[in-house]
Copies of this chain bind each other. A is one copy, B any other.
């Protein structure tokens, strides 16, 4: 522990309760490794505030003693965004104790949740009142509201209701000087200058510590329809999506995957069967929902619309899940894609986006370009076609030594893929953020105007560099990317 850290903890010990300062190494250890086991940090203490006032005291002390803080929720970052630096200079700021849903009003469609509320718990509470929180993702049982807001999380249900940015009505946060930004009032229109809430959403804990958020709820699901469709290409899939969206606003998911991803899932997940009997080069999982049982049921709607699409040659085959269980089985295939692809051997994974219309061509051309540039590799993407966001994977040639792949090849492959993404007008981080992992690429591929703007915002909000150091953007213009 550095002398500054010791003085800081001394000063805080009289202001926080006994559970708020954790120094037992065994208790801290689980929170020092990231979700993907790529980054390993060190810290002498984990701070666990129970209230916004506690966070104010902690941030004031951090500022006074010059000790950086690394905020952490469920520790499910895919880019090392919540792992402290390995030199032990920063303290962990765990928000998990702030797990209160301060209010939930289904009629108003709003909930105020503290940063440590787990996503699944918020949704369950909303469902208890006939509403729901529509954003969902694999880590829903672990990820927290604070982390989801800080990273502008996405997921598989973004098509209709958007990412966290579209679902946050307001933010409460503690600035680096300990002052509190109270933006929780849920105003649908508010033009009092720069939108601080929007600036904090997706800022990865580098501008302020988010302590709570007001979140939009939507009506609960009364009926659901799930369909599996075989198509000949990503371009056909996109035409199908446009057709469906022109006819209905109820499409919540439209997930595209190639035949080889389906094959991998079937091989990897016990008791999984292909939803369609024939062979198709590409597959689409579609979900439509309805908030009431009045009107056409979503399954009937999908059957009607997909019938028309089949007749017009937009789809090759389709099946509507005949039961909730069959719908769940379709979703299990989708949800196992990442794990089943990992079982195929070493690969690089790229969370990328391009304009929706450009995605079909990108998927075909980028795969071909990767496989040509790195002989023996297999490249393919799957995911959220309607969001212009796929998870693009490049699998090492069979027999490649994993250590060599990850040590030498993967960075080269990553830069190659990122260059293709930028050339297509896309983003090298669609939903995972920058964290530690993508800082060098962000710096390499962003315009000087953009990097300057990011750095100036960082310096304006965190001049001492105490908020999540080493993530997203360096405080000083000339600091080398890690």
Q: Which residues of A contact B (CB under 8 A)?
A: 105, 107-108, 110, 151-152, 154, 158, 163, 165-166, 175, 177, 179-182, 185-196, 198-199, 201-204, 207, 219, 242, 246-247, 249, 291-292, 294, 353-357, 384, 386-389, 425-434, 442, 446-450, 452-454, 456-457, 459-461, 472-473
Contacts and interface: CB of A to CB of B under 8 A. Distances in A.
A10 to B, nearest CB: 27
Contacts of A460: 456-457, 459-460
21 contacts: A108-B356, A152-B195, A163-B189, A179-B449, A180-B447, A181-B449, A186-B356, A187-B354, A187-B426, A188-B386, A188-B389, A190-B353, A190-B430, A191-B202, A191-B427, A192-B446, A194-B457, A219-B246, A247-B294, A457-B460, A460-B460
Given A177-B452, A194-B457, A195-B198, 18 more contacts: A107-B242, A108-B355, A152-B195, A165-B195, A180-B449, A181-B449, A187-B353, A188-B389, A189-B389, A190-B430, A192-B428, A193-B202, A193-B434, A195-B199, A196-B450, A198-B199, A246-B291, A456-B460
Greatest chain B CB density within 10 A among A191, A202, A447 is at A191
A426 B184 CA distance: 11
A199 to B, nearest CB: 6
Contacts of A386: 188
Contact of A292 (B247, B354, B388, B434): B247
Contacts of A442: 192-193
A446 B179 CA distance: 13
A52 to B, nearest CB: 12
A387 B188 contact: yes
Contacts of A204: 193
A357 to B, nearest CB: 5
A434 B388 contact: no
Nearest to A296: B295
A353 B199 contact: no
* Binding site secondary structure of chain A: loop
A249 B252 CA distance: 14
Given A195-B165, A249-B249, A387 B181 contact: no
Contact of A207 (B165, B194, B207, B429): B194
A259 B196 CA distance: 38
A193 B473 contact: yes
Given A194-B199, A194-B207, A242-B107, A187 B449 contact: no
A452 B179 contact: yes
Contacts of A425: 185, 187
